[in-house]
Amino acid sequence: MTRPRIPNYCGKPISSRSRYARLAGHRCFDLKGHPGTCSEFPYLEHLGSEAPKVRQKIIRDATMTTGAAWASDDAGPNRILRWAMLESDQVLRRFGIDMASLKPGVVAKLREKAAPYEACMLVAQKLTALVYGMANAPDVPSDVRSYLASATGAPISVTTCQVCLLPLDFNLFAAARRGKAEIETAHANPRLHTHDNVGFAHRECNIAQGAMTLDEFYGWLRDILARVDRSRGR
Amino acid sequence: MTRPRIPNYCGKPISSRSRYARLAGHRCFDLKGHPGTCSEFPYLEHLGSEAPKVRQKIIRDATMTTGAAWASDDAGPNRILRWAMLESDQVLRRFGIDMASLKPGVVAKLREKAAPYEACMLVAQKLTALVYGMANAPDVPSDVRSYLASATGAPISVTTCQVCLLPLDFNLFAAARRGKAEIETAHANPRLHTHDNVGFAHRECNIAQGAMTLDEFYGWLRDILARVDRSRGR
A115-131 pLDDT per residue, tens: 999 999 999 999 999 99
Pick from B210, B221, B228: CB nearest A224: B221
Residue range A165-201, pLDDT digits in tens = 999 999 999 887 666 779 999 999 998 999 999 999 9
Could you tell me if B7 lies within 8 Å of chain A, comparing CB atoms?
no
Could you tell me if A228 lies within 8 Å of chain B, comparing CB atoms?
yes
Separation between Cα atoms, residue B171 and residue B182, nearest integer Å:
9
φ, ψ dihedrals at B225, nearest 5°? -65, -35
CA distance B40 to chain A (A): 35
Please give the residue of chain A at the shortest CA–CA distance from B208.
A208
User: What letters, b where the CB count within 10 A reaches 16 and e where it falls short, cover A111-138?
Assistant: eebbbbbbbbbbbbbbbbbbbbbbeebe
In 10 A of CB A199, how many CB atoms? 22
Please give the residue of chain B at the shortest CA–CA distance from A227.
B165
Q: Which residues of A touch B164 (CB under 8 A)?
A: 220, 223-224, 227
Separation between Cα atoms, residue A216 and residue B187, nearest integer Å:
25
Top-confidence residue, A18 or A122: A122
Residue range B217-231, pLDDT digits in tens = 999 999 999 999 999
Residue numbers of A between 62 and 101 with CB closer than 8 Å to B: 69-70, 72
Q: Which residues of A touch B223 (CB under 8 A)?
A: 164
Contact B221 A225 (CB under 8 A): yes
Mean pLDDT of chain A: 89
0.95 exceeded by pTM: no
CA distance A221 to chain B (A): 6
Contact B70 A222 (CB under 8 A): no
Residues whose CB is less than 8 angstroms from the CB of residue A56 and which lie 6 or more positions away in sequence, other chains included: none
CA distance A130 to chain B (A): 18
Residues whose CB is less than 8 angstroms from the CB of residue B193 and which lie 6 or more positions away in sequence, other chains included: B82, B113, B114, B115, B119, B120, B123, B187
What's the confidence (pLDDT) of residue A198?
Answer: 97
Mean pLDDT of chain B: 89
- The identity of residue B146, as a single letter, is S
| Contact predicate A152/A168, CB 8 Å | no
Residue range B116-163, pLDDT digits in tens = 999 999 999 999 999 999 999 999 999 999 999 999 999 999 999 999
Count of CB contacts below 8 A, A vs B?
56
Residue B206 has pLDDT above 70, yes or no: yes
What's the confidence (pLDDT) of residue B166?
Answer: 97
Sign of CA dihedral A186, A189, A191, A197: negative
Q: Mean of the pLDDT values across residues A36-54?
A: 96
Residue A183 buriedness (CB in 10 A; 0-12 / 13-18 / 19+): buried
Could you tell me if B178 lies within 8 Å of chain A, comparing CB atoms?
yes
Contact A165 B227 (CB under 8 A): yes
How many Cα atoms sit within 13 Å of B105 on the Cβ side?
Answer: 12
What's the confidence (pLDDT) of residue B33?
Answer: 93
* pLDDT band at A67; cut points 50, 70, 90: low
Residue B1 has pLDDT above 50, yes or no: no
Predicted complex ipTM exceeds 0.85: no
